[in-house]
Chains A and B, each alone.
Chain A
Amino acid sequence: MKTCIACGMPMEKPEQHASGDVKKDWCIHCAREDGSMRSYDECLVGMTGFIVKSQGLDEGAAREMAKTMMAQLPAWKDHKPAQ
């Protein structure tokens, strides 16, 4: 099953890919208006917000969880977060 390289969520149908383009490895939630992939910081904000909204975690704790989760994703494996 294809998963978004930026957030790990499944992409089973073309419309779940950015711009509906199956050649793009990121999903609609991780895409900017022009279809390009959002930046690390933009994705981190998005993932943190999702964890807080769906699971009710403290924002700081959610952010740390999101950072650890993102470190394992293909888009961010080599990313070095700013200190």
Chain B
Amino acid sequence: MVAVRERQKAKTRARLVEAALTLFAERGILATRTADVATAARVSHGAVFVHFPTRDDLVAAVIEELGTRVTRRLHELTERKAGVRQILTAHLAGLQEFETLYTRLITEGPVLPPFARSTLVGIQSAIAFHLADAVTRETRSGSLKKMPLPMLFNTWLGLVHHYLVNRDLFAPGEFVLARRGKDLVKHFMKLVKA
């Protein structure tokens, strides 16, 4: 009986997180009310607070789930000993699946609680983990310009985030990484190659 109740509880929690993932992407994190999440998950509003005592707890759980899914996808898409170009391509492919919600996170990040920022830093750390090796190898072999890793990485992030935050200008009604991703990788590599 207890096991059945626990499984049911876990299922409801998962439904709430999925519903919030969708609504946060569609409407924005700050603009989504817990009542809307309850409706979308087909549970009572009170039930939300059984699983997440405060709204911040729900936001934390959802952002943590986004971070887990993005980093897992990044690791799956990045092969060992991949080159810088392949890693940047995998980075965009990993983000593409979560483009809308990731964009919300980078746009709203500065006004969200600290755990939202740390999830973003965690996602960046996942890609930096793969990039560090590749940049060292390609710099040593002379195929990449010498520059501090943070400068290379943050220049790339700046470029990608600019396109994401302004996706309505670069790809109205479309996913900007699908439309512009190849060009971003191609032109960035031109900038950093020796």
The 0/1 profile, CB within 8 Å of B marked 1, for residues 42-80 of chain A is 000000001101111100000011001100100000000
B132 contacts across to A, CB distance below 8 A:
53-54
Q: Is A69 in contact with B121, judged by CB distance below 8 angstroms?
A: yes
A35 contacts across to B, CB distance below 8 A:
none
Q: Given that A65-B117, A65-B118, A68-B115 are known contacts, is A54 also in contact with B125, CB under 8 Å in the complex? A: yes
Taking a contact as CB atoms closer than 8 A, the residue among A13, A65, A72 that contacts B64 in the complex is A72
Q: Is A69 in contact with B118, judged by CB distance below 8 angstroms?
A: yes
State the Cβ distance, A5 to closest chain B Cβ, in Å.
Answer: 14
The 0/1 profile, CB within 8 Å of A marked 1, for residues 112-134 of chain B is 00110110011011101101100
The 0/1 profile, CB within 8 Å of A marked 1, for residues 5-19 of chain B is 000000000000000
Q: Is A56 in contact with B148, judged by CB distance below 8 angstroms?
A: yes
Taking a contact as CB atoms closer than 8 A, the residue among B118, B122, B128 that contacts A54 in the complex is B128
Number of chain A residues whose Cβ lies closer than 8 Å to a Cβ of chain B = 18
Q: Is B129 in contact with A9, judged by CB distance below 8 angstroms?
A: yes
Does B22 have its Cβ within 8 Å of any Cβ on chain A? no
Interface stretch, picked from B42-50, B83-91, B150-158, B165-173, is B150-158
Number of chain B residues whose Cβ lies closer than 8 Å to a Cβ of chain A = 25
Name which residue of chain A comes closest to B71, CB basis: A8
What's the Cα separation between A64 and B124 when bound, in Å?
Answer: 15
State the Cβ distance, B63 to closest chain A Cβ, in Å.
Answer: 10
Between A and B, 8 residue pairs with Cβ closer than 8 Å are A12-B75, A54-B132, A54-B150, A56-B151, A57-B121, A69-B121, A69-B122, A69-B125
Residue numbers of B with Cβ under 8 A of A are 64, 71-72, 75-76, 80, 114-115, 117-118, 121-122, 124-126, 128-129, 131-132, 148-151, 153-154
13 more A-B contacts (CB under 8 A) besides A50-B129, A53-B149, A55-B128? Answer: A9-B129, A10-B75, A50-B128, A53-B150, A54-B124, A54-B125, A54-B128, A55-B125, A55-B150, A56-B148, A56-B153, A57-B121, A64-B114
Residue numbers of A with Cβ under 8 A of B are 1, 8-10, 12-13, 50-51, 53-57, 64-65, 68-69, 72
